[in-house]
Amino acid sequence: MGDTQEKPLKVVITTMLGIGHLNACMGIGSLLSKRGHDVYFAHYSRFRSLIETNGMKFISLTDHQDEVHKIPEELPVNENFFKAMLDRAKTFSPLELVKDEKVSVFSGFITLLDASKGENYAMLNIIEEIKPDICLADYLWVMPWMVKANIPVVPIMSAAPNELYNGPPFMSGYSVNDPPELWEEYRNLAQKAGEEFVEKSKELFDYFGVDYVDKTHAKQLGIYIYPEPLDYKEFGPPKKNWIRLDSSIRLIESSEFKIPEKIADKPGKLIYVSMGTLASMVPEMMNMILEPLSSLPHRFIVSTGPNGEQVKLSDNMWGDKFINQVAILPHVDLFITHGGSNSLIEGLTAGKPFIVIPQFGDQLNNGQRVVDLKLGTKINLWEFSGDKLIKAIDYVLNNDEIQTNVKKVSEQLKKSDSSEKVCSAIETLARTKTSSV
């Protein structure tokens, strides 16, 4: 229970457009709502029903946009953009990508940053109207409004927390067991590749009249969402003012899941395949992964994504454009995933082993962490083949150590008290304007 003797807090939450960020922060919002607080979620109108289902009050970003600086209703990157990213990931390793000066690995971030001016105005307008006690914000970087606001703003990091530690670099896919010299080589090259993004960020901060801070800056409190058993504790504590939330799983409309009739009576293990919202925009990627599975003696449930009509499902497969992932995971034997942090946490909470096929971002780090901790295996896109995937399925399903490890992690997550600690830290900061961490 929360601090029920106190007056309820007014909390505003927002995230960047990716569904993983949205789901993770809806989990935090649901926790705060249950503690009696008034939680508002500022986002795009198409997510209104989802946000309200999870017990929060929806606020439209576009309804609060500046008359001059409009907010794009869609991501300023499209299917062709992600196809190009995936084509690169199928060809080059992360190190090769940051070495290649012809490839801008931060181009997507720059595109999003360029389109974010209107969102900064909208959030400042929302704060002026709602007058919240505190804001929570989950982006891949700090937005100027977060510094300019005259109330506490807590950055949420729902991606892997590598940048909070002096270990394997973010997006590198390196293991904690790799030589630190490799980490430094990648880190230095990535820093050089990201110089344009940093310069554009500084220009945006200057425009709003505030000092630039990087994504690991937490003035009073920062919250990173990552399971304690997977956290990078071997490198000591995280950066100043950051605290961990082990799991942030959203509410769902129903926990009931019935195996579809098409595959209900077929033999074999039940395997769930989801490559995330962004990569599943590219049917070629989905079909590349699914084709070798068609001859296996198992059943597959597939999240086909927004272009699902172009995804080829064999007789041993059933799929839909949207799958209630939280509801389905307790029923499956294996989770084949892109390895986004939100999916990783949901799979571990359900106690399921993984085959991670990472594409970009923190998926590369998460995939390697799964391997290092023997929670499953991974197949890098630039090394992918149908034979490797078939062998990986057999390996994970029949590996007793992996099965034991995921069940152990699941039990640890169910016993975690991190949500109480995190909610208390949010409440203390909102009420006293000083941090308890």
Given a cut of 70, whether residue 253 has pLDDT beyond it is no
Name the one residue in this structure whose structure tokens are 């300023």: 76
Residue 322, token pair as written in the block: 């949207």
Burial class (CB in 10 A: 0-12, 13-18, 19+), 348: buried
Mean pLDDT of 140-165: 96
Given a cut of 50, whether residue 189 has pLDDT beyond it is yes
Q: What is the pLDDT of residues 67-119, one digit of tens each?
A: 888 887 665 556 777 788 888 899 999 999 999 877 777 777 787 788 889 99
Instruction: For residue 233, give the DSSP letter.
Output: G
Is residue 389 within 8 A of residue 292, CB to CB? The reply is yes
Is residue 359 within 8 A of residue 336, CB to CB? The reply is no
Its sign, for the CA torsion 328, 329, 334, 338, is positive
The contacts found for 206-215 with CB under 8 angstroms, 24 or more apart, are 207/117, 207/144, 208/120, 208/144, 208/145, 208/147, 208/148, 209/148, 210/144, 210/147, 210/148, 211/147, 213/142, 213/147, 214/141, 214/142, 215/139, 215/140, 215/141, 215/142, 215/155, 215/157, 215/163
3-state SS track over 145-211: HHHHCCCCEEEEECCCCHHHCCCCCCCCCCCCCCCHHHHHHHHHHHHHHCHHHHHHHHHHHHHCCCC
Residue 136, token pair as written in the block: 């929570």
Q: What is the pLDDT of residues 18-67, one digit of tens each?
A: 778 888 899 999 999 999 999 999 998 889 998 998 889 999 999 999 88
Helices of type H across 100-155:
107-114, 117-130, 144-148
Is residue 19 within 8 A of residue 325, CB to CB? The reply is no
Q: Of the CATH numbers 3.40.50.9100, 3.40.50.2000, 3.40.50.300, 3.40.710.10, which one belongs to the domain with range 10-246+416-432? A: 3.40.50.2000
Q: How far apart are CA 275 and CA 350, in angstroms?
A: 18
Instruction: For residue 123, give the DSSP letter.
Output: H
Q: How far apart are CA 104 and CA 194, in angstroms?
A: 8
Mean pLDDT of 3-30: 86
Residues of the chain within CATH 3.40.50.2000 domain(s) are: 10-246+416-432, 261-415
Main-chain dihedrals φ then ψ at residue 337, nearest 5 degrees: -140, 160
Beta bridge partners, 245, equal 225
pLDDT at 73: 65
Q: What is the pLDDT of residues 408-426, one digit of tens each?
A: 999 999 899 999 999 999 9
Helices of type H across 215-268:
261-264
Name the one residue in this structure whose structure tokens are 């942090």: 341
255 band by pLDDT with thresholds 50, 70 and 90: low
Q: How far apart are CA 326 and CA 340, in angstroms?
A: 14
Burial 256-276 (b: 16+ CB within 10 A, else e): ebebeeebeebeeebbbbbbb
221 band by pLDDT with thresholds 50, 70 and 90: very high
Q: What is the reported pTM?
A: 0.93
Residue 415, token pair as written in the block: 């016993």
1 band by pLDDT with thresholds 50, 70 and 90: very low
pLDDT at 352: 97
261-415 fold = Rossmann fold (3.40.50)
- Identity of the amino acid at 245: L
DSSP states of 296-315: SSSEEEEE--TTGGGS---T
Given a cut of 50, whether residue 4 has pLDDT beyond it is no
